[in-house]
Amino acid sequence: MTAWRVALAVPGLAALAYATTLPWNVPDDDARRSVLTWLAGGVILHDGMLAPIVIGLGVIGARWLPAPWRAPAVVGLLSWGSLTLLAIPVLSGNGVDPTNETLQHRPYVTSWWIMSAAVVAVIVAAGWWRRLRSVRARSPSPRGRTR
């Protein structure tokens, strides 16, 4: 085990050391500030905003959502949130070149609404299905025996 840990940690330290020798090309304070903002910004946004929101939604969901809908809501929200986060660049439209009709000319905002509606529909449907299944499992079978 120790050998394996050393075999991982030594190249790890070497990679960090190598990173410091690379040309970061940050010639001025603006560039340096921008790098630090982007490095720290992601962590701050996640730990300070996204994580508390998700935990809050979890508390609300556990209190208010009927049981059959809870698991579908978790998976649905995770999918919706991931797709929304990774689509932010195209949704923003900031990278669009008006002279170029071949890149980023899909109806992203419409697609996002349809995707959002589809996620809600799947959560609702999956919850109904789970509810029906659990009701059936609990109700007596036609021969009068309970399981």
Partner 1 sequence: MGRDPDGSNGLTVIPRVEDFSHRLRDPRLTSRVGLWLGITLSVTFLTGVWSHFQQDTPGWLTIPTSPYWLYRVTQGLHVISGTAAVPLLLVKLWSVFPRLFVRPPWRPSHAFVLHLLERGSIALLIASAIFQLATGLSNAAQWYPWEFNFRSLHYAVAWVFIGSLLIHVAVKLPLIREALGEPIDRDEPAPPPGGLTRRGLLRGTLAASGLAVLATAGSTVSWLRNVSVFGVTDGEGPQGIPVNRTAKEARIERVDDSWRLEVIYGGASRMFSLDELRGMPQVSHELPIACVEGWSGSGTWTGVPVADLVAAIGAPPGSRVFVVSMQRRGGLRTSELPGHFVDDRRTLLALDLAGAPLDLDHGYPCRIIAPNRPGVLQTKWVRRLEVYA
Contacts with partner 1 in 55-74 (CB under 8 A)? Answer: 55, 58, 62, 65-71, 74
Instruction: Please say which residue, 104 or 124, places its beta carbon nearer to partner 1.
Output: 104
Instruction: Please say which residue, 136 or 145, places its beta carbon nearer to partner 1.
Output: 136
Cα 64 to Cα 51, 71, 75: the distances in Å are 20, 13, 17
Site for partner 1 in 69-98 (CB under 8 A): 69-71, 74-75, 78-79, 81-83, 85-90, 92, 94-95, 97
Q: Does 116 bind partner 1 (CB under 8 A)?
A: no
Q: Does 137 bind partner 1 (CB under 8 A)?
A: no
Tell me, by CB under 8 A, how many residues bind partner 1: 76
Select from 63, 64, 99, 146 the one that contacts partner 1 (CB under 8 A): 99
Residue type (1 letter), 57: L
